Amino acid sequence: MNTKHVLVACGSGIVTSTIVMAKISREIQARGWTGIELTQGTLSDVYAQTADYDLVVTTTPLEAGPDERIISALALLAGDDTAAFFAEFAHYLSLD
């Protein structure tokens, strides 16, 4: 199976992206998903290299981004219902 590459981006690849990375990793383990590689980066990485990734997760709702495969992880930061986020996540990466 091919590894799926996900870019997790915030302003400078330090604070909010680390929080989101931790939450996504935990969920990936809990659901037993495999073959997903998370990379941490910045919003300018999103503009520079979205084409290299299967999915981009940003910690902010990105208006008018360079591509359609970009989803917002705001719900993970605000502590709201996270099911919708992971449904979207699974949909884009074709996971069950």
Told to check if 61 binds other proteins by CB under 8 A, we report yes
Nearer to other proteins, 77 or 90 (CB): 77
Q: Using CB under 8 A, which of 5, 36, 54, 74 touches other proteins?
A: 74
Nearer to other proteins, 27 or 95 (CB): 27
Told to check if 56 binds other proteins by CB under 8 A, we report no
Stated as kind and residue range, the H or E segment containing 75 is helix 74-78
Q: What separation in angstroms does the CA of 93 have from each of 40, 78, 79?
A: 17, 24, 23
* Cβ(55)–Cβ(93) below 8 Å: yes
Backbone angles phi, psi at 78, to 5 degrees: -80, -10
- Summarize as ranges the residues that interact with other proteins (CB under 8 A): 10-19, 22, 40, 42-48, 58-66, 72, 74, 77-79
